[in-house]
């Protein structure tokens, strides 16, 4: 008798379904992994956006977009939901495109539209690139793992469905109003308070700039009027030094400095700080003009100037940065100390440091003075609160910081001269009803003795005050010196103003 053949076991429907479900889960997982890896590696483009060179990329996230502005920080906009985020990083400013914008009012007026068009074009290109690399990545990984001809097509179909779903979520949750309420990080956290009324600032900037250009140009006629006044001393016995402070990156302030250096033939410039607003690398590229003035430029850091700012100035021709140290211009000895604080952002930094920090800085500078063979002719500090420890140790102390010009005599006869803002407080001054005036002072020292003989206070009115004024103040000789010279006062000037209209 032959044997009986037993029937083969037939897989149960549940087992077949389980295998099929496992296969599809593997397909979905492989497709998503391949797409994600491809997006992380290749979903990135470089594109010009207005005057900027930028990179755009798609990254896993909770939706929205983030714009990085190194080294200032970043801003995030919660403009849509989804598992992907748009990252934009501004890399650098293209000097050629920026110069074209600055020199062409038509292009400058349309810069917002140009940036919008560039950004839209870059985003479209990035989306296309992202879709292509995601599909290819999913197909490649699926084929490598499963080795079946149809698997790449299945992976492409699955990935396409996922991408359509992500696009649908983004479209249905699109919130364009979120553009007006970005979240800032880094130094940009103060952006809301700085540009809250940016539209008003921009609307008035053209008029302000035109006004300042006319005023700066009038420095020449102002000097012609001044030259009629009796000189503070013999031409070969006078050293003229220009005191500036708080330029705050105002181009008109730098133009004013250049004009006064040329017209008044000063022997050097004394800057008591705050040449920048934030002390950042982009700002530091704009202060190269101080090395092209052709005269010595002595600088101390203000509370808005970073160590990088000081290094950038110190690396230019004819410049000296004082930090509890001394130097000399045409025989006039000068000491100076930086502001010990760094407070570009009112919400961060050392702004809460008490007055004792400034007092200690002044005391340290006093120790430097006491170590010198002869007392210096001038001391430079940024904040007037650094000045009290220097009383009686130097005849003249120059300061800034307050944006309010004031000259006062301290108890021991030391003259404290606080400068206004040579930059009119910078762009932030446009937030008020009228910008602050631009101020600087030309100091005349006797070359033989280092004594301050006279000074010219120069003021350029802000918007709404189209006037350039100058006032010469002659400092009388001390009683002892006056008797030595027979009681005569050869200066012959009563300190009255000479104010030609601007």
Nearest to 405 by CA among 339, 478, 475, 455: 455
Indicate the Cα dihedral angle 330, 334, 337, 338, nearest 10°.
-30
Cβ neighbours of residue 166 closer than 8 Å, sequence gap 6 or more: 82, 83, 84
Phi first, then psi: give them for residue 494, nearest 5 degrees.
-95, 10
Pairing of strands 396-399, 73-77: unpaired
DSSP percent split of the chain into helix, strand, coil, nearest 5? 40, 20, 35
Q: How far is CA 169 from CA 121, 132, 490, in A?
A: 22, 20, 85
d(CA 360, CA 290): 30
pLDDT at 122: 85
pLDDT in tens, 186-238: 655 555 444 444 444 445 555 555 566 666 666 666 666 666 666 566 556 89
Q: How far is CA 220 from CA 227, 339, 501, in A?
A: 11, 34, 12
117 DSSP 8-state letter: H
Contact call for residues 248 and 344 (beta carbons, < 8 A): no
d(CA 253, CA 219): 12
Partnered with residue 45 across adjacent β-strands are 56
Classify the phi-psi angles of 464: left when phi > 0, otherwise alpha if psi is within -120 to 50, otherwise beta.
left
Cβ neighbours of residue 62 closer than 8 Å, sequence gap 6 or more: 81, 82, 83, 85
pLDDT at 488: 43
d(CA 160, CA 155): 8
Provide the 3-class DSSP secondary structure of residue 419: coil
Nearest to 269 by CA among 282, 259, 284, 280: 259
Structure tokens, 89: 């990083």
Contact call for residues 81 and 42 (beta carbons, < 8 A): no
Nearest to 477 by CA among 233, 243, 234: 233
d(CA 398, CA 384): 8
Catalogue all structural domains in the chain, each as residue range(s) with its CATH number: 16-195 (no CATH), 211-342+353-498 (3.60.21.10)
Q: How far is CA 366 from CA 82, 308, 390, in A?
A: 62, 26, 6
Contact call for residues 238 and 231 (beta carbons, < 8 A): yes
pLDDT at 492: 40
Q: Which residues of the chain have pLDDT under 70?
A: 1-11, 70-73, 92-116, 177, 179-181, 184, 186-236, 279-286, 345-353, 426-435, 462-466, 479-502
pLDDT at 8: 56
d(CA 442, CA 266): 8
d(CA 273, CA 287): 12
Peptide bond connecting 243 to the previous residue in cis, omega within 30 degrees of 0: no
Contact call for residues 436 and 424 (beta carbons, < 8 A): yes
Classify the phi-psi angles of 274: left when phi > 0, otherwise alpha if psi is within -120 to 50, otherwise beta.
left
Length of the chain: 502
Q: What is the 3-state secondary structure (H, E, C) of 16-31?
A: HHHHHHHHHHHHHHHH
pLDDT at 198: 42
């Amino acid at each position: 008798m032959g044997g009986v053949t037993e029937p083969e076991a037939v897989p149960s429907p549940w087992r077949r379904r389980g295998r099929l479900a496992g296969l599809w889960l593997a397909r979905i997982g492989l497709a998503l992994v391949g797409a994600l890896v491809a997006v992380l590696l290749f979903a990135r483009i470089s594109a010009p956006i207005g005057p900027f060179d930028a990179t755009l990329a798609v990254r896993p996230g909770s939706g929205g977009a983030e714009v990085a502005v190194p080294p200032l920080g970043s801003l995030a906009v919660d403009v849509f939901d989804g598992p992907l985020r748009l990252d934009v990083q501004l890399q650098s400013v293209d000097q050629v495109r920026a110069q074209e914008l600055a020199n062409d009012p038509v292009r400058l007026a349309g810069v917002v539209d140009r940036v919008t068009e560039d950004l839209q074009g870059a985003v479209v290109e990035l989306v296309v690139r992202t879709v292509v690399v995601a599909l290819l990545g999913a197909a490649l990984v699926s084929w490598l793992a499963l080795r079946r001809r149809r698997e790449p097509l299945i992976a492409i179909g699955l990935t396409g469905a996922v991408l359509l779903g992500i696009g649908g979520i983004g479209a249905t949750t699109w919130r364009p109003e979120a553009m007006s309420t970005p979240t800032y990080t880094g130094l940009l956290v103060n952006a809301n308070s700085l540009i809250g009324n940016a539209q008003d600032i921009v609307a008035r900037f053209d008029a302000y700039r035109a006004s300042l250009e006319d005023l700066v140009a009038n420095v020449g006629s102002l000097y012609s009027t001044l030259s009629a006044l009796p000189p503070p001393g013999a031409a070969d016995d006078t050293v003229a030094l220009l005191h500036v402070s708080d330029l705050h990156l105002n181009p008109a302030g730098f133009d004013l400095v250049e004009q006064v250096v040329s017209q008044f033939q000063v022997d050097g410039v004394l800057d008591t700080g705050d040449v920048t607003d934030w002390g950042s690398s982009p700002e530091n590229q704009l202060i190269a003009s101080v090395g092209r003035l052709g005269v010595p430029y002595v600088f101390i850091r203000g509370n808005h100037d970073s160590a990088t700012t000081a290094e950038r100035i110190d690396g230019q021709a004819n410049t000296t940065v004082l930090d509890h140290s001394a130097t000399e211009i045409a025989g006039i000895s000068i000491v100076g100390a930086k502001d010990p604080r760094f407070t570009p952002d009112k919400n961060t930094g050392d702004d809460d440091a008490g007055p004792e920090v400034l007092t200690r800085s002044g005391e340290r500078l006093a120790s430097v003075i006491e170590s010198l063979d002869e007392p210096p002719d001038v001391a430079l500090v940024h904040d007037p609160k650094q000045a009290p420890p220097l009383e009686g140790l130097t005849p003249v102390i120059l300061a800034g910081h307050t944006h309010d010009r004031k000259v006062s005599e301290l108890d021991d006869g030391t003259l404290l001269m606080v400068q206004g803002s040579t930059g009119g407080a910078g762009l932030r001054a446009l937030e008020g009803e009228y910008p602050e005036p631009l101020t600087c002072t030309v100091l005349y020292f006797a070359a033989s003795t280092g004594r301050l003989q006279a000074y010219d206070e120069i003021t350029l009115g802000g918007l709404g005050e189209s006037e350039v004024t100058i006032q010469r103040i002659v400092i009388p000789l001390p009683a002892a010196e006056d008797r030595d010279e027979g009681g005569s006062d050869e200066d012959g000037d009563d300190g009255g103003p000479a104010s030609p209209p601007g």
